[in-house]
Structure 1
Amino acid sequence: MFADIEFNPRLLLGLEKQAITEPTEVQREVLPLAMAGHDLQVCAETGSGKTLAYLLPVMQQLLDNPAPQSATRALVLVPTRELAKQVFKSCKVFTDLTQLEVGSLTGGEEFKYQAAILRKNPEIIVATPGRLVDHLKRDTAELGDLEFLILDEADRMLDMGFAEDMDMVVSCCSKQRQTFMLSATLRHEGVGRIARQMLNDPQQITTHSVQQQHEFIRQQRILADDNAHKDRLLTWLLANERYDKAIIFVNRRDEAERLAEFLRRHRTDIATLHGEMTQDERNYVMQSLRQGKRSVLVATDVAARGLDVEGMDLVVNYDLARKGDEYVHRIGRTGRAGKAGLAISLIAANEWNLKAAIERYLNQQMEAREIDGLKGKYRGPKKVKASGKAAGKKKPKPAVRKAQAKKSVKKGSDKKKAGPRPSRPKEQKSNLMDSDGFAPIKKKQS
């Protein structure tokens, strides 16, 4: 029994091998509804166990109803190769103990190799949208027999421009299917459209909103003058903070390369991960992290989702995330499975407003922190002060201003209205000004 559900003994053995004895909150919510055949829209924090929440009921139903002659029966669609590899690895633990097969379709691998996998008709496919669409166009993938469609990190797929690919994938799927949509953040404007189009009367589950502070992650911010100042702060943090593994997020590939090269002057355990790397390079980086050969990873947002490395207990936002959702996923690389983590953001002047927007989105403040000997000139936004004479005067209160206005009106009403000023007689005017407009010089009388 797991979550009061009688799972196949082979699946329970897979849980036992991973030392999983109790379901997480999201698993307790999702498993009964999924087993009952409902479509689900799930929002739960990173590291909460969402992957097993949909894999277990899908595999149980595939085992209960074998269909050896059918094509792919379950599809897990994910935004990145890293997340695809993570889901594939989780699934493989169970399929190795059963007659089920799982395959993976992502960029960076040969089509011939992947086509050979598809010819074996694995029951479960884990894929990224772009590569799966390529196989559909080549008629090497078949989704007509699909019984389960899982959209993992749907909001991220929309952000990455996969909306058309997702529509094409769904159009190729059987309409008689069960669909799950999952993410740590489901506030994307396009998610509602997808939910209406792809889900049938879904049950909505929210176990943890992003506005609730993650109880295991301490969030701090340090003010910085510029990138040179950030380099010094980062070097100090990596040398003085206590951590097993750390990940440093930047927003651009070239900045990831530059920063990694700078850090290698100080230490040798630096790895880099970004979207322009080949799949073999990515695999090598992740393997070196998991084996402990590298302990510091400099990465773009390609590592913000799906990266689950044991001991990742320090996250540094060298560049602040551009959106609140991405910030949530970044810091979610630490503090996983009940373990404590620390997330530090280095904030330059041009990032202050973005920091404030993220804090409003999360409804929480980052803890201010300073490092002795490395305090910068930037101390946050300056308050606008009044200038001139008005700076020393206090504006009267509204009631006082109204009383002053009435007094002024009353005082003016007591005076007689002044008529037009009478003009001087012509002879008087001639005594004042000559014909050229100048005052005449008065001669002294002798």
Structure 2
Amino acid sequence: MLHDRLLKAIDQLGFTQPTPVQQAALPPAMEGHDLMVGAETGSGKTLAFVVPMLQHFLDRPAPNIGTRGLILTPTRELAEQVCEAVKSMAAFTRIGCMTVCGGTGFKEQAAEIRRNPEILVATPGRLAEHLERRTLDFDDLEFLVLDEADRMLDMGFRDEVMAIVDICRPERQSMVFSATLTHPGVRALLPQVLNEPKELLLNTPQNAQERIRQQIILADDDKHKERLVEWLLAHEQYDKAIIFTNTRDKAQWLAKSLQRQNRRSGVLHGEMSQDERKHVMGLMRSGKINILVATDVAARGLDIDGLDLVINFDMARKGDEHLHRVGRTGRQEREGLAICLIAHNEWNLMASIERYLRLEFERRTLKGVEGSYKGPRKVKASGKAAGNKKRKPDTKGSKDTKGGKKGVRPAGKQRTTDRKQTGKRRGSDAASSSLGDGSMPMMKKKPR
């Protein structure tokens, strides 16, 4: 039974029903088991580890000691959202929480750490720096959580993560949450972090995007992609949209282009200061801007109400990154639309991601802004993915086309090595979730 103060917080937040990942993870976590949990982004997994931590601290008060709970996340944005989730659930307790991330003055952080907040939410790089300077220790640590473990490894934080794990007290409860437990780096990490864990697999990469319609539009080059983006923003129905690029320079260039068109847009990338990033996200959440151009720094952990359109200006470099990009939409039982703009040098990458996800993206053309690139000269046709619905023709001049047909070879050389398309998407009986990560509460809202 949850503590009365946690139940009061849940009631104030207006939530009544746990998500599938919470239903699966909460009982063993409350019993003190180590957990390894595979759950898609947007599943509400944050409170699956926050609630047991808070319950334990309330059941066993230990004032005036050091850090009792540590949550590691790959990005500052996710750390802030997790911290907000902790504060929301701990609103009627005296349990303190703070973030330890780059972008904030080191001395100011060290001073706040000396106040002994019971829970730290941190990124590996900055936390490792505090450990090196001996501004904190984990002699009293009781809970360790690695959130989005696969992303931390992909970002090159393995050494920092292992150094932090090694310094943590062995007598602790540990949990690892990841959208892709099949990630080889995560599998290698688990024995060093967990002790006789229970494994809960709530999803696979192939069935994680059931509410999201995924399409591709062929493009000649970046200038042609710019025109396609203009068309989509003018004709698609959306409250908020996010456009992903692979580089900071391209994100800035595209954001300026949209601003010249008087579109309410902003940019988010890893070279921005923490204050700049907070400002942009505040504008997006408040609705003062409704289009965000971002690099993959925004692919994990961002939860924005009303985000129903994702455009990949550049194709993600691998399947897991694609999953987390498109996972920004299709949340809270809403349908989402994700569109990838594919140039000739991205076709093989796109096809490999189709195989990884075991689905076929809808092929689409936009009347009036077609390009000369029609795809590889020879492509083996494949069946329609079971999870993707057929799109109705655009009422404002667009026309959808089915993929898998021979295209006309345009002038110039093109890569044609990838000639296989994937088969139908596998069906899934995995539970789909209705809540987001980070600051998203653990229960479904009461109907108004």
TM-score by length of 1: 0.84
Instruction: Compute the RMSD of aligned alpha carbons.
Output: 1.2
SS at match of 1:179: strand
AA paired with 2:99? Answer: S
Instruction: Tell me whether 1:39 sits opposite 2:34 in the alignment.
Output: yes
CA distance in 2 between partners of 1:287 and 1:200 (Å): 40
Instruction: Tell me whether 1:302 sits opposite 2:297 in the alignment.
Output: yes
Moved over 6 A (4+): none
Deviation at 1:16, TM superposition (A): 2.1
For residues 373 and 80 of structure 1, do their structure 2 counterparts lie closer, same or farther at Cα, with a shift above 3 Å needed?
same
CA distance in 1 between partners of 2:285 and 2:357 (Å): 31
Equivalent residue, structure 1, for 2:139: 144
Which has the bigger relative contact order, CA under 8 A and spacing at least 6?
A: 2
Instruction: Tell me whether 1:316 sits opposite 2:316 in the alignment.
Output: no
CA distance in 2 between partners of 1:210 and 1:160 (Å): 19
SS at match of 2:338: strand
8 Å Cα contact 2:82-2:121 kept in structure 1? yes
SS at match of 1:374: coil
Equivalent residue, structure 2, for 1:394: none
Deviation at 1:13, TM superposition (A): 1.9
Equivalent residue, structure 1, for 2:394: none
| Residue among 120, 125, 140 paired with 1:125 | 120
CA distance in 2 between partners of 1:214 and 1:189 (Å): 22
AA paired with 1:148? Answer: F
AA paired with 1:339? Answer: R
Equivalent residue, structure 2, for 1:66: 61
Equivalent residue, structure 1, for 2:421: none
| Residue among 90, 102, 113 paired with 1:107 | 102
8 Å Cα contact 1:43-1:183 kept in structure 2? yes
SS at match of 2:184: coil
8 Å Cα contact 1:213-1:364 kept in structure 2? no
CA distance in 1 between partners of 2:347 and 2:14 (Å): 43
Q: Over residues 85-114 of structure 1, what are the superposed CA-to-partner deviations in whole Å (9 max), with x where a residue is unaligned?
A: 110111111223111111110000011221
| Residue among 218, 222, 228 paired with 2:213 | 218
AA paired with 1:34? Answer: A
Q: Over residues 132-176 of structure 1, what are the superposed CA-to-partner deviations in whole Å (9 max), with x where a residue is unaligned?
A: 111111111111111100000111111111111111111110000
Deviation at 1:190, TM superposition (A): 1.2
- Greater helix percent: which structure? 1
Name structure 1 gaps, 5 residues minimum: 1-5, 386-446
TM-score by length of 2: 0.83
8 Å Cα contact 2:150-2:179 kept in structure 1? no
| Residue among 219, 236, 259 paired with 2:254 | 259
8 Å Cα contact 1:152-1:181 kept in structure 2? yes
8 Å Cα contact 1:44-1:208 kept in structure 2? yes
Name structure 2 gaps, 5 residues minimum: 380-405, 407-448
8 Å Cα contact 2:95-2:118 kept in structure 1? yes
- Number of residue pairs matched? 380
Question: What does 1:178-327 correspond to in 2, within 5 Å?
Answer: 178-212=173-207, 214-327=209-322
CA distance in 1 between partners of 2:136 and 2:289 (Å): 37
Percent sequence identity is 56
Q: Over residues 162-217 of structure 1, what are the superposed CA-to-partner deviations in whole Å (9 max), with x where a residue is unaligned?
A: 11111111111000011110011222221111101111111111111111152211
Question: What does 1:341-356 correspond to in 2, within 5 Å?
Answer: 341-356=336-351
8 Å Cα contact 1:246-1:297 kept in structure 2? yes
SS at match of 1:55: helix
Equivalent residue, structure 2, for 1:373: 368
Equivalent residue, structure 2, for 1:168: 163
SS at match of 2:150: helix
SS at match of 2:40: coil
8 Å Cα contact 2:9-2:91 kept in structure 1? no
